[in-house]
Amino acid sequence: MDMNESPIGVFDSGVGGLSVLRHIRNQLPHENLLYVADSAYAPYGSRSSEEIQERSLALAEFLTGHGAKALVVACNTATASAAALLRKRHDLPIVAMEPAVKPAVETTRNGIIGVLATSSMLKSAQFAALVESYGKEVHIITRAGIGLVECVERGDLDGDEVKTLLHGYLTPMLEQGADTLVLGCTHYPFLRPVIEQVVCGRMSIIDTGAAVASHLRQRIEDAGIAAARPGHGEASFWTSGSADQAHEVMSRLWAWSSHYPGDV
């Protein structure tokens, strides 16, 4: 197969990476897309680095086995644990996630930033390096969004549990004066409508999906492997979890994305 016509492979610990896939579709409408939700192992935030590396290698092998010309690690936790290893194993463009600490520092007006992410991401060397590089002049408040990934995985985007969890995580940030919020997990953009209700316009919300898609577009254009076909590409989906549950939840989230594009 001509590399230009080959698909782009995207994976996440579950369905959250669809929030990144929507930006990729918006910016690269001609590309065929492959997406794998590793829902049987979600959430990655509670797993060891070794487990995450093993799963990331397996998913990358699956996607390259289906002809992927580029890979997107649409998971902050997998990025922290496995992106460097994937780049050693695969000679193709690999684009990964990064909590938007730098954009948040550029956005904040009062120097107080909230970061909502998984426990693993907040404990990672990657996050520590970002704080060291960009966070010296600001105050960063972190919260591990325990339970939020599981809510999104079962398609609960606005139920009582989601609202209670988000109030618990975000209210202390607001009370401490945070005016900017970084969504440090790809599942969290699907909760943005509830997040916006909780913060009531008092915080700017930063989702890195659009920046990832832009970087991917630049990488494949620089490599000369961008799709040349007219019209829209196709998207194919797989899961390591229940096929029936995945079909229901992923269909809902993919449809949701077209009605709530977020920051494009």
The domain defined by 3-97+209-259 folds into Rossmann fold (3.40.50)
pLDDT at 112: 98
The position carrying tokens 């490599």 is 223
CB 149 within 8 A of CB 157: no
Q: Is 151 a catalytic site residue?
A: no
Question: Which class is 101-206 in CATH?
Answer: alpha beta
The answer to whether residue 200 is catalytic is no
Structure tokens at 161: 């549990």
Lookup: tokens for 28: 């690269």
Structure tokens at 54: 């093993």
Backbone angles phi, psi at 224, to 5 degrees: 70, 30
What was the pLDDT predicted at 263? Answer: 40
Task: Confirm whether 3-97+209-259 and 101-206 share one CATH topology.
Answer: yes
Query: pLDDT tens digits for the chain (264 residues)?
Result: 578 899 999 999 999 999 999 999 999 999 999 999 999 998 888 889 999 999 999 999 999 999 999 999 999 999 999 999 999 999 999 999 988 999 999 999 999 999 999 988 899 999 999 999 999 999 999 999 999 999 999 999 999 999 999 999 999 999 999 999 999 999 999 999 999 999 999 999 999 999 999 999 999 999 999 998 778 899 999 999 999 888 899 998 988 765 544 442
Domains of the chain by residue range: 3-97+209-259, 101-206
Secondary structure E strands in the chain = 8-12, 33-37, 70-73, 94-96, 112-117, 139-144, 180-184, 204-206, 235-239
The catalytic residue among 10, 36, 75, 216 is 75
Catalytic residue among 117, 148, 185, 216: 185
Looking at the DSSP bridge assignments, the partners of residue 12 are: 37
SS3 9: strand
